Amino acid sequence: MNRVEYLAALKSALSQMPAEELEKQLAYYDELIADMCEDGMSEEEATARLGAPDAVAEELLAALPLSTLVKSRIRSAGGSSALTVVLLVLGFPLWFPLLVSVFAVVLSLVITLWALVIGFAAVVFSLGVTAIAAPVALVAGWFQGSPLMVAGYALIAGGLCLLGVLALPPLCGAMARLCRAIGRGVKSIFIKKER
Amino acid sequence: MLDAQMKRGLIENCVLAALARGDSYGYQIVKDLDAVVSVTESTLYPILRRLEGAGALTVYSVEHNGRLRKFYHLTQTGRRQLESFASDWDELAAMYDFIREGLGYE
């Protein structure tokens, strides 16, 4: 792929980019290819080094702020004709609650996921309390029953508690990754995949 | 593999450090950074834009071989950001040494 073909492919892959931003990006890649050529590479080598236009476009779009993506998505959906504006205004009672509920759903999903983690931590904590309280209750004479049975309870609770404590950090990490993935997923809704 | 967030922060400061040596342009920055970390041209661009937006660098064009080449210049804000990172780094380096000593490395 030579310089002109590469820039054209990049431009079409970045059609969603605001025009001013697109211009800057293309100028940046144009300059890079020219600099690489001055460095002794052929145009084909230079464009191969930059990577496939689609992959490059994906990386650049993902780095855009969400608000820019949403704006350009709305713009490209119907241009900014008077009709679109009127529809947007008249449709406000419809699309605004929809938008709010979508975000509420995402937010509640995230909260639910973390509530699971907190619930798990609470169970681990209560197991720990059981493990300590059971022998104490036995020694203090609050509890009538076989000492061996109480010792067994305490050991089981203590063991489960230790396992839980070990599982907690990776669980938190996995949950944080999941939440980040959800964030990326929301963002990718606004990145057009048209070819 | 470095944590992605951590790596991005490090690369950002490497870009600032490359500019602290003098004004530079896209391809030159990639080549300078290549000695320490492999950064693709497509990774660099959003970083430059973000730093420009944060006022850490300014952009100007210079004519070169009949075309325009964009140069990036480190501002006072950018220099301060880099200095603050470097002073935070002392603390991180101390932790890093502590970790390595704990593992029995020299």
- pLDDT tens column, A4-60: 888 888 888 887 777 888 888 888 888 888 888 888 888 888 888 888 888 888 888
Q: Are residues A36 and A96 in the same domain?
A: no
Q: Which CATH class is domain B4-102?
A: mainly alpha
Instruction: Say what percent of chain B tops pLDDT 90.
Output: 19
Q: Are residues A98 and A178 in the same domain?
A: yes
Instruction: Say what percent of chain A tops pLDDT 70.
Output: 89
Q: Are residues A97 and A158 in the same domain?
A: yes
Q: Are residues A26 and A97 in the same domain?
A: no
What pLDDT was estimated at residue A71? 67
What pLDDT was estimated at residue A195? 43
Residue A73 inside a domain? The answer is no
A positions 27-86 inside 8 Å of B (CB): 27-29, 31-32, 34-36, 38-39, 49-51, 55-56, 59-60, 63
Q: Are residues A29 and A103 in the same domain?
A: no
The mean predicted confidence, pLDDT, of chain B is: 86
Interchain CB distance below 8 Å, B70 and A29: no
Answer whether B43 touches A (CB < 8 Å): yes
Range in A56-70, A125-139, B7-21 the model is least confident about? A56-70
Q: Are residues A44 and A103 in the same domain?
A: no
Domains contained in chain A, number: 2
How far, in Å, CA of A145 to CA of A127, rounded?
A: 20
Write out pLDDT tens, residues A60-93. Answer: 887 777 766 766 666 655 555 677 777 778 888 8
Q: Are residues A54 and A98 in the same domain?
A: no
Q: Are residues A23 and A101 in the same domain?
A: no
Interchain CB distance below 8 Å, A32 and B27: yes
Residue A54 inside a domain? The answer is yes
Which residues, other chains included, contact A69 with Cβ-Cβ below 8 Å and sequence gap of 6+? A16, A61, A187, A190, A191
Containing structural domain, residue A48: 3-64
Q: Are residues A59 and A103 in the same domain?
A: no
Answer whether A181 touches B (CB < 8 Å): no
The mean predicted confidence, pLDDT, of chain A is: 83
What pLDDT was estimated at residue B76? 92
Q: Are residues A181 and A104 in the same domain?
A: yes
- Cα separation values, A61 from A20, B5, B44, B58, Å: 14, 18, 14, 23
Interchain CB distance below 8 Å, B41 and A29: yes
Partners of A183 on chain B (C-beta within 8 Å) are none
Q: Are residues A57 and A9 in the same domain?
A: yes
ipTM above 0.85, yes or no: no
